[in-house]
Chain A
Amino acid sequence: MESVLTVVKMYKLTIEDNTYNCKPDETVLDALLRENVNISYACKKGTCHSCVVRSPDILPPEVAQAGLKNTLKKRNHFLACLCHPEYDMVIKLPDQSEFYTEGIIVVNELLNRNTLLLIIAFKNAFEFNAGQFVNLQRPDGLTRSYSIANTQQESNTLEFHIRRLPNGKFSEWLHDELKTGDTIAVSEPRGHCFYLPERSEQGLLLVGTGTGLAPLAGILTDALAHGHSGPIYLFHGSRDLEDLYRINEMRRLAEQHQNFHYIPCLSGKHVPEGFRHGRVNDIVLASLPDLKGWRVFLCGHPDMVKQMKTMTFLNGAASADIYADAFLATPS
């Protein structure tokens, strides 16, 4: 064991000609934000990769490189939000153009009373796996993560479903101010929640709340396109009917594909015929009590995702077969 005494040590962070102190317990991101350095970030927990910076001279701590591509790791890129310095560090902020591509808004319309369908087109093919997410960035640097809802086969476009949050800085901007023809900065695709065309006889369980349908729609299209032959169950939950969307499209898909089952769930009071009543968690677990051998995708509300991760695991799904994207809010 190391010494029992806690050594309180400040490290210096140098960016170009300026030097900042990183207090004990602070991450590099915390220190730079406290010092009002303009650095992009969103999740503060290593998911979104919007806070990637570089240490040109020394190897950054290993934990701060978790999940980065090998090519980035080699060049000493690291996540500022996961980095507790172990030495004084020189830091290079990213040249934004290295990570972001300009896209142009081609579709901007409502899917329901609070969900926007946004389609962004690119000059060149945008490589991604259906179910991944990107970071969108406003000209002032504000950054948020959004899941891709289409698959790569569908031309050089990305589709998004954006829920309007009351007083949500980014979502209200997308809903109220962005118009077709405008451009927007889009990051490289990220995340591990996607379909791989293997074990095609395996059962697939897709569970989403609200715009959690976005990545699941991409994953579903991808699995069907690859001829996935095992049963596929999609449970989409919300409180009120008005907050679900793509209901008829999903029903039509279920008619066309014998192995695909669509179960819309409403937890509110008013439940018309054809919908299940209750929390989506409970309905899933009651419908599919034995998930041994299944592959599970969970997207949307962080509480649902966290709970369902544990519950599907306890119902038999292997931990390596559970993929999840919690739509975490950015800590302010």
Chain B
Amino acid sequence: MADLKTIQQAFIDLLQGKPSNMASHVQNQAPVTTNTRLGIYQNAYISRLRETIDSDHPMLGTYLGDDLFDQMVPAYIKQYPSSYPSLRDFCQHIPQFLQNNPPFNAHPILAELAAFEQILINAFDAADADAIGPEILGTIAPDNWPTMKLRFRPCVQRFQANWNSVQSWQMLKQEKQPPPPKQLETPALWILWRNTQRLTEFKSMGPDEAMLLDVALKGGDFADMCDELLNFHGEDEVAMRALTILQQWIGIGLIGDIRF
């Protein structure tokens, strides 16, 4: 008699479309054929994963259209079978898949659109943390400003677009025709977060704001932030500009804590 491990391996091979002698482990029970019985499991496997891709990547699905989506789904399932307890993690390799596999890799905007949808999900599910209010800035002693470090709320995500992927996402979301794919002259930088109503929001950042964000995310303090701003502004303007951006971040609820 076949042992447990042999049977289980045959079952998973069958689901993955690999050569499998699963049928030989199954009793013949008329009137339903063994093929029909195995088919129930095969269909369930594919359709469950397909639904997950569909619901995690609605705009990618629309952008691709039915034919290309139908081409992507089985190929992705084959190349990146789920190894996670939760289906929410299943789609995380889709950007990489689109980047590396024809015909999708001929259109870099696809991987970018998928990456954007992944980041939206991450912001939505991130751990909760209260945002600090603007009044905190008034409590900081002048001597402490240079060594002040920002702690972002876990939902805060940064996204860099080299193509018009975010604009395309927005058009698709409004059920409008997206613009033709276009590479941007300079990368567009976005920040995403979850607002107090627990809805995901995003906004574009100017180059100086994006630079500040990178410094702060890497653990730099306010003095480091001002130093980097010298690449964009005069010496007498940097502190004021850094403060303005900081106030905006606090205003939209990006900052969870301030440390020294």
A and B together in one complex = no
